[in-house]
C-alpha cells in the first residue's frame, strides 16, 4: 500500500483507469457500502476541501487490490472520508486480500501520522476485522467494539399492520380531518431544491433543542453536499404533507440494498401530537418495499426511542480504534468502570422502582420539565414566573396603556416562524441555546403560539400566546388544566429593545383578541420590562 496526500491524491482521482478499477473493486467487495463509492467519496472531498485528502492504495497503473479513503477530522483523528456523514467507514478489497490491505494500511498510517489516533465508526456487518483485532502483535494497540444495527425490513404486510394499529389509525384520521394527507417521493432536483430549506429548518430546530446541534447552520457545506448527492442519484427523499405543508420528511443516502438514516430526517413540532415522523417512516418502509429496496437502515448504536418502534430486524456493526498502548489501557479501564457502575445501578433500581422512574426521566431528558409542571416553569433557570396582571389583582390592561406607534425601520414581528427562534443569541441570554429551543419546542408541541420581535436577523424578544382551549403545560402550577382566558408570556427579552417590545405586546393583544383582564407573565430576569409596563398601567 502507498499513501497519496493532498494534490497527489487529487491527481489520482483524475485518472480514468484508476476510477474504473475503483468501481470494479467496489462491486467485488462483500462489505462495501455507498459510503465507499467513488461518487460519495470524491463528492465529499471536493465540497469539504478544508479536510485533507488521504488515499491509501496499491494502484500501480494496472491493477488494484485495496483502497482506503481517509482524512483528518476536527478532533485531529485519522478517520474515513466523509467523517460523521459516512455512516460506515471501511476499506475496499476482496476477501482474500482483506487482512493484508488492512494491516499494511495501519502500518503506513502509524508511520506517516505517528501521534494521531485512527478511528473507524462504524464498520458495516461482514467487515473482516475480528481476526485483525485478535492478532497478538496488535492486541495492545487495537480496540474493537460491536454495536447493534437496527433495521426496518421493507415488509409491506407487516408495516401496513403497524399503520392500522388503533393509536396510529386515529392519528391518521385526525390528520385527514384537517386536510389532504399525502406521502410523496421527491424525484426531480427542482422539487428537492424547493423543499430542502424547510427540511433543514425542521431538522436544525429539533436537533438544536434535543442535542444542541444546529448542524446546517454551523456546517454550510452540508446542504450543497446533499444537493450534489441527490443529483448523483445517491439520496432518497420523501415527505409527508398535510395539504401543502410538510409535516415530516426523510432524505436518506441510498445504498446497494437499503436506504440509510443519514442525511436529514425531520418532523414539524406543530403536529408532534400526531407522531408524523413515525407515520412517515412506516409509509416510507412500504414505499421502499414496492421499489425493491429491502431495508431501511436505522443506523448503529442501539434501538431506543423511535428506532425501537420501527426496528423489526438487526445486525451487528463494529467500531475500530488504533491507539497507543497507554490510551488503549485507559479506555478499557474507563469502559470497565462504566460497566460495573451500570450493573450496580441496575441492581439498585430493581430494589427501588421509584428511583428507576427518576433515572428513566433523566435519561429521557424529561426530569426538568416534569418537576417544573409541579412548581411552575422557571424560565432561564431563575426564580419562576410571576403573575403580573390577573383578575385577582384587579389590574386591567387596556390598549391605551401601550404605545401604538409604528415600529422603527428595520424591525418586524413574525408569527410562528421557527427560523427566527434559531437566531437566538446564546451570548446575550442567561440560558443555553439548547434550553431555549427545548422550551420553545415543547410549547409549540402543546399548541402555544409565538411572536418574535426581529431587528433584521437579530432576535430581540419572544412573546407566547396560550389560547384558552390549550393546556398551560409547564407554564404554571395549574397542573396542566385548561384556563378560562388566554395567557401571554415573555420567554425572551433584550432590555435595549424596550419600546419596540411594547409594540410587540400591543400588536399581539390586538391580533389574538385576548379577553380582559389579561394574564401576563414574565421570566424573573425581566424586571425592567415588568416594572416599566406596571408604571404605564398604573397611570
pLDDT band at 346 (very low <50, low <70, confident <90, very high): low
Are 406 and 359 members of one domain? Answer: no
Q: What is the pLDDT of residues 412-466, one digit of tens each?
A: 999 999 999 999 988 876 678 998 899 899 989 988 889 999 999 999 989 888 7
Distance CA 478, CA 484 (A): 12
Distance CA 483, CA 387 (A): 14
Contact between residue 438 and residue 460 where contact means Cβ atoms under 8 Å apart:
no
pLDDT of residue 539 exceeding 70: no
Q: How many helices (H) and strands (E) does the chain have?
A: 19, 19
What is the structure's pLDDT at 495? 73
Which of 198-202, 298-302, 342-346 is the least confident region?
342-346
* CATH assignment at residue 513: 3.40.630
**Cis omega (within 30 of 0) on the bond before 122?**
yes
The three grid cell numbers given for residue 500, joined into one nine-digit string:
419596540
User: What is the mean pLDDT of the segment spanning 479-492?
Assistant: 60
Element spanning 448, H or E: none
What is the structure's pLDDT at 388? 32
Where does a domain end: 147, 177, 202?
A: 147
Are 283 and 186 members of one domain? Answer: yes
Evaluate whether residue 514 is within a structural domain.
Answer: yes
The three grid cell numbers given for residue 465, joined into one nine-digit string:
400566546
What is the structure's pLDDT at 386? 30
pLDDT of residue 191 exceeding 70: yes
Cα 383 to Cα 344, 377, 440, 523, distances in angstroms? 36, 9, 19, 8
For residue 367, which of 417, 438, 306 has the smallest C-alpha distance? 438
State the CB neighbour count (10 A cutoff) for residue 195: 17
State the CB neighbour count (10 A cutoff) for residue 212: 14
What is the structure's pLDDT at 244? 95
- The structural domain count of the chain equals 4
CB proximity list for 397: less than 8 A, separation 6 or greater: 389, 509, 516, 517, 518, 520, 537
469 or 301: which leads in pLDDT: 301
Where does a domain end: 96, 117, 147?
A: 147
379 or 47: which leads in pLDDT: 47
Evaluate whether residue 303 is within a structural domain.
Answer: no
Are 379 and 519 members of one domain? Answer: yes
Are 400 and 262 members of one domain? Answer: no
Label the pairing between strands 78-80 and 92-93.
unpaired
Distance CA 190, CA 108 (A): 45
What is the structure's pLDDT at 472? 58
Q: What is the pLDDT of residues 65-115, one digit of tens each?
A: 999 999 999 999 999 999 999 999 999 999 999 999 999 999 999 999 998
Where does a domain end: 363, 386, 410?
A: 363
Are 110 and 199 members of one domain? Answer: no
Contact between residue 475 and residue 521 where contact means Cβ atoms under 8 Å apart:
yes
User: What is the mean pLDDT of the segment spanning 50-74?
Assistant: 96
What is the structure's pLDDT at 471? 64
Are 123 and 184 members of one domain? Answer: no
pLDDT of residue 14 exceeding 70: yes
Cα 335 to Cα 34, 148, 539, distances in angstroms? 31, 17, 66
- What percentage of the chain carries pLDDT values higher than 70? 80
Output the pTM of the full model: 0.85
H runs (alpha helix) in 297-324: 306-310
Q: What is the mean pLDDT of the chain?
A: 83
**Residue 254 forms beta bridges with which residues?**
259
Which of 328-337, 351-360, 527-536 is the least confident region?
527-536
For residue 451, which of 441, 461, 443, 442 has the smallest C-alpha distance? 461
Distance CA 23, CA 29 (A): 10
Evaluate whether residue 50 is within a structural domain.
Answer: yes
Are 454 and 487 members of one domain? Answer: yes
Phi-psi region of 364 (alpha: psi -120 to 50; beta: other; left: phi over 0): alpha
Range of the structural domain that residue 70 is part of = 2-147
pLDDT of residue 526 exceeding 70: no
Distance CA 67, CA 22 (A): 8
Evaluate whether residue 299 is within a structural domain.
Answer: no
User: What is the mean pLDDT of the segment spanning 171-200?
Assistant: 97
pLDDT band at 478 (very low <50, low <70, confident <90, very high): very low
Are 113 and 180 members of one domain? Answer: no
173 or 503: which leads in pLDDT: 173
Evaluate whether residue 357 is within a structural domain.
Answer: yes
Distance CA 531, CA 524 (A): 11
Are 430 and 450 members of one domain? Answer: yes
CB proximity list for 507: less than 8 A, separation 6 or greater: 413, 451
Evaluate whether residue 310 is within a structural domain.
Answer: no
Are 471 and 329 members of one domain? Answer: no
pLDDT band at 24 (very low <50, low <70, confident <90, very high): very high
For residue 377, which of 466, 484, 494 has the smallest C-alpha distance? 466
Evaluate whether residue 381 is within a structural domain.
Answer: yes
The three grid cell numbers given for residue 494, joined into one nine-digit string:
433584550
For residue 487, which of 465, 512, 461 has the smallest C-alpha distance? 465
Based on its alpha-carbon atoms, the radius of gyration of the chain, rounded to whole angstroms, reads: 27
pLDDT of residue 531 exceeding 60: no
Phi-psi region of 484 (alpha: psi -120 to 50; beta: other; left: phi over 0): alpha
Q: What is the pLDDT of residues 353-404, one digit of tens each?
A: 555 555 555 555 443 433 333 333 323 222 223 333 333 333 333 444 444 5
* CATH assignment at residue 268: 3.40.630.30
Are 329 and 201 members of one domain? Answer: no
Are 340 and 395 members of one domain? Answer: no
To the nearest 10°, the Cα dihedral for 285, 286, 291, 293? 30
**Residue 185 forms beta bridges with which residues?**
238
pLDDT of residue 172 exceeding 60: yes
Cα 447 to Cα 79, 96, 325, 465, 480, distances in angstroms? 44, 60, 55, 9, 13
Amino acid at each position: 500500500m502507498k499513501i497519496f496526500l493532498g494534490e497527489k491524491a487529487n491527481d489520482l482521482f483524475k485518472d480514468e483507469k484508476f476510477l474504473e478499477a475503483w468501481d470494479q473493486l467496489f462491486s467485488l467487495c462483500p462489505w462495501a457500502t455507498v459510503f465507499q463509492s467513488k461518487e460519495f467519496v470524491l463528492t465529499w472531498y471536493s465540497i469539504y476541501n478544508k479536510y485533507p485528502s488521504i488515499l491509501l492504495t496499491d494502484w500501480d497503473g494496472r491493477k488494484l487490490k485495496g483502497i482506503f479513503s481517509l482524512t483528518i477530522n476536527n478532533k485531529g483523528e485519522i478517520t474515513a472520508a466523509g467523517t460523521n456523514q459516512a455512516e460506515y467507514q471501511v476499506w475496499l478489497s476482496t476477501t482474500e486480500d482483506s487482512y493484508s490491505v488492512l494491516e499494511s494500511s495501519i502500518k503506513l498510517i502509524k508511520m506517516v501520522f505517528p501521534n494521531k489516533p485512527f478511528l473507524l465508526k462504524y464498520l458495516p456487518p461482514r467487515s473482516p476485522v475480528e481476526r485483525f483485532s485478535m492478532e497478538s502483535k496488535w492486541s495492545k494497540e487495537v480496540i474493537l467494539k460491536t454495536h447493534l444495527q437496527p433495521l426496518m425490513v421493507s415488509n409491506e404486510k407487516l408495516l401496513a399492520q403497524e399503520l392500522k394499529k388503533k393509536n396510529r389509525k386515529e392519528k391518521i384520521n385526525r390528520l385527514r380531518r384537517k386536510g389532504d394527507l399525502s406521502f410523496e417521493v421527491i424525484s426531480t432536483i427542482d422539487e428537492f431544491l424547493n423543499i430542502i430549506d424547510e427540511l433543514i429548518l425542521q431538522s436544525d430546530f429539533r436537533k438544536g433543542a434535543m442535542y444542541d446541534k444546529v448542524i446546517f447552520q454551523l456546517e454550510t457545506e452540508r446542504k450543497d453536499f446533499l444537493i450534489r448527492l441527490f443529483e448523483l442519484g445517491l439520496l432518497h427523499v420523501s415527505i409527508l404533507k398535510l395539504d401543502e405543508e410538510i409535516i415530516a420528511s426523510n432524505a436518506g443516502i441510498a445504498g446497494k440494498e437499503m436506504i440509510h438514516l443519514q442525511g436529514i430526517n425531520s418532523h414539524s413540532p406543530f403536529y408532534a401530537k400526531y407522531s408524523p415522523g413515525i407515520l412517515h417512516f412506516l409509509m416510507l418502509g412500504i414505499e421502499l418495499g414496492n421499489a425493491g429496496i429491502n431495508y431501511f437502515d436505522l443506523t448503529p448504536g442501539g434501538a431506543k426511542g423511535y428506532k425501537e418502534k420501527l426496528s423489526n430486524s438487526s445486525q451487528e456493526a463494529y467500531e475500530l480504534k488504533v491507539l497507543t498502548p497507554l490510551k488503549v489501557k485507559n479506555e478499557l479501564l474507563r469502559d470497565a468502570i462504566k460497566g460495573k457502575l451500570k450493573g450496580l445501578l441496575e441492581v439498585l433500581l430493581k430494589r427501588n422502582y421509584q428511583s428507576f422512574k427518576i433515572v428513566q426521566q433523566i435519561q429521557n431528558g424529561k426530569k426538568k420539565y416534569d418537576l417544573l409542571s409541579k412548581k411552575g416553569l422557571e424560565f432561564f433557570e431563575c426564580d419562576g414566573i410571576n403573575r403580573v396582571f390577573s383578575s385577582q389583582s384587579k389590574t386591567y390592561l387596556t390598549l391605551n396603556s401601550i404605545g401604538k406607534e409604528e415600529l422603527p425601520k428595520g424591525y418586524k414581528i413574525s408569527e410562528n416562524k421557527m427560523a427566527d427562534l434559531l437566531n437566538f443569541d446564546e451570548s446575550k441570554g442567561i440560558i443555553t441555546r439548547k434550553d431555549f429551543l427545548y422550551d420553545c419546542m415543547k410549547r409549540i408541541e402543546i399548541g402555544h403560539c409565538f411572536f418574535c420581535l426581529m431587528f433584521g436577523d437579530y432576535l430581540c424578544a419572544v412573546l407566547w400566546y396560550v389560547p384558552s382551549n390549550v393546556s398551560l403545560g409547564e407554564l404554571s402550577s395549574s397542573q396542566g388544566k385548561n384556563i378560562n382566558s388566554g395567557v401571554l408570556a415573555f420567554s425572551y427579552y433584550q432590555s435595549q429593545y424596550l419600546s419596540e417590545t411594547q409594540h410587540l405586546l400591543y400588536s399581539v393583544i390586538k391580533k389574538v383578541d385576548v379577553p380582559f383582564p389579561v394574564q401576563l407573565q414574565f421570566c424573573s430576569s425581566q424586571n425592567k420590562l415588568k416594572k416599566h409596563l406596571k408604571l404605564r398601567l398604573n397611570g
